[in-house]
Structure 1
Amino acid sequence: MIRINMLGHLEVIGNGRDLAPSAPRVKSVLALLALNANRVVSTDTLSEELWADRPPRSAATTLQTYVYHLRRTFGGVTGGGVFGCDIVTRSPGYMLRVTDGRVDAEMFLEVAADGRRLWREDRVDEAADRLRQALALWRGPALADVRTGSPLTIHAARLNEVRLRTLQLRIQADARLGRHHELIPELRSLVAEHRLNEWLHAQLIEALRSAGRRAEALQAYQDLRRVLQSELGLEPTPEVQRLQTEVLGGMRTSGAPRLLRAS
């Protein structure tokens, strides 16, 4: 059996070893096929990924060579690819044929969607656990060591955006469950990484306030205000300003600004 991991450095795990190709363009072909597992990727899309709008005259032959090398990789692990992964020729291009659970990006999207469903059903504890499982699949930025052309850049951006949305929803679920003390260290790290994300700053302010650390909550607001003014020349949103006013007045509310949607 074989597993393809793309939520971090690209890995092809088979027989306990990482068999990922080292050649940059072969790696790009594999990543694009894996992100479209069980769907045909046209030779035009693969060519765009590899050479943008300037493919060489030998593009078709070169692409066939890359696919050949990948087929050898999968065949060496699975005895022809029948029981794990294989690449099949399907007009107008190629398809990576895999069984469920072989590609971590695909698994992430499925588990994250399940977490969102549980949230919509108000099964908050289960949603938090499921969302945490989805996030645990990540080992770093998507396709961290893959040279990306336009198609892969779009895929990676989508995955990274879904990751952030999933993280936000998991934080929201943990806050609903009263896990404010546990959230504070994580939120401090996140606001340092995402300095302009007001939603994360608001969650930190609310977590500190809910944990009884009012002075630190007010300082967290001032930190956000200083960052926005220095980098964008902006003030915090009215929602975050109201949160700061409520902290000053010692008022209790239903919490920091929530996600617009949980979809």
Structure 2
Amino acid sequence: MALPESIRYRILGPVQTKSADGTWQDFRQDKWRTLLAVLLVRSNHVVPCGELVRQLWPEEAPGSQRKLVQQYVHRLRRSLDDPDGEVLRTRPAGYELRVSPGELDVDRFDALCADGRRALATAAYEEAMAHFGQAMALWRGTAMADVGNAPVVAAERIRMTERRLAATELWLRAGLACGRHDVLIPELECLVVAHPLRERFRELLMTALYETGRRADALSVARHLRCLLREELGIDPGAQIQRLERTILLGEDVDLSLLRPLAVPTDS
């Protein structure tokens, strides 16, 4: 079941927090944004002060680094309307940002994706499409796009981007199972251009084109992928693409079981 609409922190795009009047606020100071991003990535866990120093100054830290961390924490508490440190807590080893279930947009994203997977498992494709559509609507660009080169943020950004692509794939699979081939072809064509080596998007595009009577175009997608893979990596497309290509060449019906979704990466 999806978490309630109680998002207070957003990292699926520029880092933002919700103020008391319900408006979203940005952080002009780069170090404040980085500090908040690191604490949100490690929410409900103590982040040692030394680790915060490494994340805030990955190349060379100033001599007054710990004092600066304390100042940034103090200012961040003011921005969070947390003067007593009940949310951003001081611990013996460092600091801990307490985030309740549903307060972080990425948690809601994961919950909606879980709902979508459950709907797909019961062949409730329209419902699955709705859940994944809501999940992807939470994204406002690249995750933590306004945060610099903090190592933990960079690593988490990569992981979140992969989860976004996997959720997009499941949304598309549900859409094809609903018969929305014409509507989804432009989206799939854009994804193939953006991610040319991602075979799953090619497979879905081939299916959509074939189901709308564009057999030659579907085969052209497979042919271009084969040339690209051989040129870039010296390999052939995977078994699923090859199987679908044979189906199209023979003019047979696509086995809809091929549209069964693969798992979306979880937080674990």
Between the aligned residues of both structures, percent identity stands at: 36
> Which of 21, 27, 43 is the equivalent residue of 2:27?
21
CA deviation vs aligned residue, 1:193-243 (integer Å, no higher than 9, x gap): 101111111110011111221121122222222332333333222321222
The correspondence of residues 228-239 of structure 1 with structure 2, limited to 5 A, is: 228-239=229-240
Cα pair 1:191 1:200 within 8 Å, conserved: yes
Q: Residue 97 of structure 2 corresponds to which residue in structure 1?
A: 96
How many Å separate the matches in 1 of 2:7 and 2:77? 13
Distance 1:5 1:203 in 2: 31
Q: How does 1:43-192 map to 2 (within 5 A)?
A: 43-52=49-58, 54-75=60-81, 80=83, 86-192=87-193
Q: Distance in 1 between matches of 2:100 and 2:158?
A: 25
SS at match of 1:190: helix
Q: Distance in 2 between matches of 1:117 and 1:39?
A: 29
Q: Deviations over 1:74-94 (max 9, x none)?
A: 22xxx7589xx9312133221
Normalising to structure 1: TM-score of the pair?
0.87
Tell me by how many angstroms 1:184 deviates: 0.8
Q: Give yes or no for contact 1:35–1:105 (8 Å, CA) kept in 2.
A: no
Q: Deviations over 1:148-202 (max 9, x none)?
A: 3221122112211111111111111222222222211110010011011111111
State the Cα distance separating 1:111 from its structure 2 match: 1.8
Q: CA 1:30–1:16 in 2, change beyond 3 Å: closer, same or farther?
A: same
Distance 1:2 1:163, change over 3 A: closer
Segments of structure 2 that go 5 or more residues without pairing to the other structure are 1-5
Give the TM-score taking structure 2 as reference length: 0.85
Q: Does 1:8 align with 2:16?
A: no
* Structure 1 portions without partners, runs of 5+: none
Which whole-Å deviations, capped at 9, do the CAs of 1:230-259 have from their partners, x for residues lacking one?
333332223212222221110113145655
Question: How far, CA to CA, are the matches of 1:183 and 1:91 in structure 2?
Answer: 53
Provide the C-alpha distance between the structure 2 equivalents of 1:7 and 1:189, rounded to a whole number of angstroms: 21
1:201-212 matches, cutoff 5 A: 201-212=202-213
